Amino acid sequence: MNMDIARRGRQAIHRFSCAMDTDLNSQDRKDLDKFIKFFALKTVQVIVQARLGEKICTRSSSSPTGSDWFNLAIKDIPEVTHEAKKALAGQLPAIGRSMCVEISLKTSEGDSMELEIWCLEMNEKCDKEIKVSYTVYNRLSLLLKSLLAITRVTPAYRLSRKQGHEYVILYRIYFGEVQLSGLGEGFQTVRVGTVGTPLGTITLSCAYRINLAFISTRQFERTPPIMGIIIDHFVDRPYPSSSPMHPCNYRTTGEDNGAAYPSVEDSQEVCTTSFSTSPPSQCVFTVTKAHFQTPPPVVMDTLKVPMMGLAFSHQLSSSRLSYQPAALGVGSADMGYPVIFAGGLNAAHPHQLIVPGKEGGVPPVPSQPAHGTQADHERMVMCTPLDGALYSAATPSSSEDTETVSNSSEGKSGSPHDLLETIFVRKVGAFVNKPINQVTMASLDIPFAMFAPKNVELEDNDPMVNPPDSPDVESPLQGSLHSEVSSGSSTGNTHDDFVMVDFKPAFSKDDILPMDLGTFYREFQNPPQLSSLSIDIGAQSMAEDLDSLPEKLAVHEKNVKEFDAFVETLQ
């Protein structure tokens, strides 16, 4: 390692000589160090946020707030900042010591693959005349803008937007020598930019894998989500979670990122802090060798299942009963959510129930912070409860005019042993009974509790399945839906026959309506028969129809004034 020593010697001399030559005053020096430090932190934020799988949006503000570094509105995710600071350990990028952010992909089966390495390096070329407080600052700002642009352009971006139940994107920050060997052969490099400073030139670049061909996004789209595979991950885990296998904290004993720069080859065994970047929450966990019993340890990542417009699809099809508790976890990935509750076998960590945003514009699920006595409770603050549009404690109300069905669930975790309850509340029209189906996942001993047949009985009691003989229909829609059910269409488990295929229509915008076109299309693929066309009602003969006409006309004539008034309002 003479080379190592020689290199270090060169670094020391270089820094010394640069400082001497430039006669950088101490204020400038301090400023420059501060800039570089915050630049490094912001770089990490931009990269990680770009791999969360959702679109980023920040607002411009004409009046400076004084806290937006480099005049750019870049949010700071606290956990990411913490990890970056930990990796840097008070140092700054220098020659031979680069800050690297590694982005990798991990499938639900546990295979992982490095996708990109973003490197922030410093080289020896000093620009002595440059003004620190202005030019360097502005160029760093420009470099961050370039980073914003480039992060959307590498292949990993599209992969990260599609992450969800089959794979997730993880990141890792390390400081030291850049290791590119995990990227496979023929990886490409793109340079984001450089900024010269009196102490050296800062370079930001990205090396990315290109032989992703075998894991093209298509492959992931075509494979329907197989819930079984994900559940399998729990098979080896101890039940119940009295001692969580992976404490959601990043201060594992014996873990010291500062010292260890794990090489890529070892990453499978000694994985330092890796974080799922699936939104909206990030489960922070650390896996060390000690905990590594059965692969893959990073199970929590795979708990994410898409919530493909859960609320909306059910709002529109109240007669479809597959969303009933019976369907919990069965078949379609729509029902994946309750599976996660079952995985609240790690009941103390309900925040892991968060699901990622898939392209379907999935509304986030608010997590219930553990009220339990977890020692690392305070570290769970990172999984912030979201303003979940979907899940809120709903009370049945009888003032619903339209047919809406809202699934509401409450995760209760009052104590470490409390298990989560799911309350499904259906509001179906003003005049129909509103059953409240309470499904408790109390029996976590049964890994596949949600598949239990008991839920089917609830279905039988549901008036929607077996409508009363002559329902008082308030709206034609309700009536027609009733008739659809009673006319013997399949038992409402038609959803189960659906195989989830990602339907990417050109126009669907998931930010307007949190339900994608694919779901909408599926829901309305089989519209119910019009009541006037169905045979039961059309059993009356033509003659009877004609006979009843005069009566109807008389009634209408009586109300002619009303009709006229109505027509007036239209004009």
Partner 1 sequence: FIPGGGGAAASFGGRESAALPSPAGNTGLACPRAQTAMNCRAEVLEVSVEGRQIEEAMLAVLHTILLHRSTGKFHYKKEGTYSIGTVGTQDVDCDFIDFTYARVSSEELDRALRKAVGEFKDALRYSGSDGIGQISLEFYQKKKSRWPFSDECIPWEVWTVKVNVVNLANEQERQICREKVGEKLCEKIINIVEVMNRHEYLPKMPTQSEVDNVFDTGLKDVQPYLYKISYQITDSLGSSVTTTMRRLIKDTLAL
Contact region with partner 1 (CB under 8 A), list: 99-107, 184-192, 278-286, 341-349: 184-192
Contact region with partner 1 (CB under 8 A), list: 84-92, 106-114, 190-198, 233-241: 190-198
Give whichever of 39 and 175 is closer to partner 1, judged by the CB atom: 39
Amino acid symbol at 274: S
- Residues contacting residue 343 through CB under 8 Å, at least 6 positions apart: 234, 303, 352, 353
Residue with tokens 């970056």: 84
- What x/- string results for residues 391 through 430 when contact with partner 1 is judged by CB under 8 A? ----------------------------------------
Between residue 195 and residue 214, which ones bind partner 1 under the rule CB under 8 A?
195
Amino acid symbol at 290: A
End-to-end CA distance of the chain: 91
* DSSP-assigned letters across all residues of 469-526: SS---SSHHHHHHHHHHHTT---STHHHH--------TT--TTTSSS-HHHHHHHTSS
Number of residues lying near partner 1 (CB under 8 A): 50
Give whichever of 199 and 284 is closer to partner 1, judged by the CB atom: 199
Give whichever of 92 and 342 is closer to partner 1, judged by the CB atom: 92
Give whichever of 195 and 245 is closer to partner 1, judged by the CB atom: 195
- State the nearest-atom distance from the C-beta of 62 to partner 1, in Å: 4
C-beta separation of 401 from 385 below 8 A: no
Give whichever of 63 and 541 is closer to partner 1, judged by the CB atom: 63
- State the nearest-atom distance from the C-beta of 554 to partner 1, in Å: 55
d(CA 147, CA 151): 6
Q: Does 275 bind partner 1 (CB under 8 A)?
A: no
| 3-class SS string, 280-348 | CCCCEECCCHHHCCCCCCHHHHHHCCCCCCHHHHHHHCCCCCCCCHHHCCCCCHHHHHHHHHHHHHCCC
Give whichever of 64 and 228 is closer to partner 1, judged by the CB atom: 64
Give whichever of 134 and 550 is closer to partner 1, judged by the CB atom: 134
Give whichever of 58 and 443 is closer to partner 1, judged by the CB atom: 58
Give whichever of 214 and 507 is closer to partner 1, judged by the CB atom: 507
Helix/strand/coil for 120: strand
Give whichever of 202 and 305 is closer to partner 1, judged by the CB atom: 202
Give whichever of 135 and 268 is closer to partner 1, judged by the CB atom: 135
- State the nearest-atom distance from the C-beta of 39 to partner 1, in Å: 11
Is the alpha carbon torsion for 243, 392, 328, 513 positive or negative?
Answer: negative
- What x/- string results for residues 55 through 84 when contact with partner 1 is judged by CB under 8 A? xxxxxxxxxxxxxxxxxxx-----------
Contact region with partner 1 (CB under 8 A), list: 31-39, 173-181, 240-248, 524-532: 31-39
Among 7, 9, 21, 34, binds partner 1 (CB under 8 A): 34
The H or E element containing residue 548 is: helix 542-558
Between residue 491 and residue 530, which ones bind partner 1 under the rule CB under 8 A?
506-507, 509
- State the nearest-atom distance from the C-beta of 53 to partner 1, in Å: 11
- State the nearest-atom distance from the C-beta of 71 to partner 1, in Å: 5
Between residue 134 and residue 173, which ones bind partner 1 under the rule CB under 8 A?
134-135, 137, 139, 142-143, 145-146, 148-150, 152-154, 157-158, 161
Among 190, 212, 226, 264, binds partner 1 (CB under 8 A): 190
d(CA 104, CA 110): 12
**What does the DSSP 8-state code read for residue 427?**
E
The H or E element containing residue 84 is: helix 78-88
Give whichever of 509 and 558 is closer to partner 1, judged by the CB atom: 509
Q: Which residues of 24-44 are buried (b: 16+ CB within 10 A; e: fewer)?
A: beeebeebbeebbbebbbbbb
- State the nearest-atom distance from the C-beta of 492 to partner 1, in Å: 34
- State the nearest-atom distance from the C-beta of 139 to partner 1, in Å: 6
Residue with tokens 């608010």: 366
Residue with tokens 């770009």: 50
d(CA 447, CA 431): 38
Contact region with partner 1 (CB under 8 A), list: 126-134, 274-282, 414-422, 471-479: 126-134
Contact region with partner 1 (CB under 8 A), list: 86-94, 131-139, 346-354, 461-469: 131-139
Helix/strand/coil for 195: strand
Among 38, 431, 563, 566, binds partner 1 (CB under 8 A): 38
Between residue 39 and residue 58, which ones bind partner 1 under the rule CB under 8 A?
55-58
C-beta separation of 198 from 172 below 8 A: no
Among 91, 123, 194, 404, binds partner 1 (CB under 8 A): 194
Residue 137 sits at φ, ψ, to 5 deg, of: -60, -45
d(CA 16, CA 199): 9
- Residues contacting residue 204 through CB under 8 Å, at least 6 positions apart: 43, 118, 119, 120, 121, 143, 146, 147, 191, 192, 193, 194
Binding site for partner 1 (CB under 8 A): 31, 34, 38, 55-73, 131, 133-135, 137, 139, 142-143, 145-146, 148-150, 152-154, 157-158, 161, 190-195, 506-507, 509
